[in-house]
């Protein structure tokens, strides 16, 4: 059984009973996050996965990296992390797969941008295809709808995490359209409501998903669901 805990914005904790993965660890400064950084560090995740370098996704990755947790991301993000004190960063690029005892992560394209809060270039923004706990998950990161999502869907997806906030990413209607291409069993909306500009309505997304025959699970920060 894979447990998925939503920590607000685009931050998720995955737990398969043996290992934990933390995705886009925006904890401090995240007005939706229900936990403190101290509590999150105590989880001792097997890896932190970072989709791109913007502050609301890079977040507290460096705090985990300094504690010895592998940061898995683009080569530019891993290089930045290593230069700033992370001890076990894993640099990759789009199309590559990192394999570990907990499973694997493959980087996919995302249509967005990527730079650190200090302006340093963060490489290409990415999505993540994660093999974990006997499930195949697609974390889209920050992106627009793009036709090559069909190739990601061809892998056979159990779950897709999709941004719906609009303005910086696709909105709920476009996010629902991605389900024609991705064809997951379950979809979870993210990246909405954190800040006033992120106006995407998860109920609009849910209705669109249901028309596609996909189960949409709308989680509140702190909620846990299972696959």
Domain ranges of the chain: 3-219
Tens of pLDDT, residues 9-52: 999 999 999 999 999 999 999 999 999 999 999 999 999 999 99
Q: Please state the φ and ψ torsions of residue 49, each to the nearest 5 degrees.
A: -105, 130
Cα 174 to Cα 140, 147, 166, 209: the distances in Å are 13, 12, 9, 11
Structure-block tokens of residue 96: 């590559």
Please, which residues bridge with residue 110 across strands? none
Which CATH architecture describes the domain 3-219?
Answer: 4-Layer Sandwich (3.60)
What's the pLDDT tens digit per position in 120-147? Answer: 999 999 999 999 999 999 999 999 999 9
Write the pLDDT tens digit of every residue in 44-84: 999 999 999 999 999 999 999 999 999 999 999 999 999 99
For residue 22 the two structure tokens come to: 């933390």
Q: Which residues have CB under 8 Å from 8's CB, separation 6+?
A: 26, 30, 31, 32, 33, 34, 194, 221
């Amino acid at each position: 059984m894979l447990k998925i805990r939503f920590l607000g914005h685009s931050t998720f904790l995955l737990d398969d009973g043996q290992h934990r993965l933390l995705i886009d660890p925006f904890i401090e400064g995240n007005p939706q996050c229900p936990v403190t950084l101290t509590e999150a560090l105590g989880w001792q995740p097997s890896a932190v996965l970072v989709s791109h370098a913007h502050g609301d996704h890079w977040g507290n990755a460096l705090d985990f990296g300094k504690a010895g947790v592998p940061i898995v991301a683009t080569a530019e993000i891993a290089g930045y992390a290593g230069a700033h004190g992370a001890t076990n960063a894993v640099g990759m690029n789009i199309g590559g797969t990192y394999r570990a005892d907990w499973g694997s992560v493959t980087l996919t394209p995302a249509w967005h941008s990527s730079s650190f809060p200090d302006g340093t270039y963060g490489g290409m923004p990415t999505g993540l295809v994660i093999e974990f706990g006997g499930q195949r998950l697609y974390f889209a990161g920050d992106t627009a709808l793009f036709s090559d999502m069909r190739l990601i869907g061809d892998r056979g997806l159990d779950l897709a995490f999709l941004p719906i906030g609009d303005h910086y990413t696709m909105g709920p209607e476009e996010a629902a359209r991605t389900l024609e291409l991705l064809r997951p069993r379950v979809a979870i909306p993210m990246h909405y409501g954190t800040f006033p500009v992120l106006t995407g309505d998860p109920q609009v997304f849910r209705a669109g998903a249901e028309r596609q025959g996909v189960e949409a699970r709308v989680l509140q920060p702190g909620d846990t669901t299972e696959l």
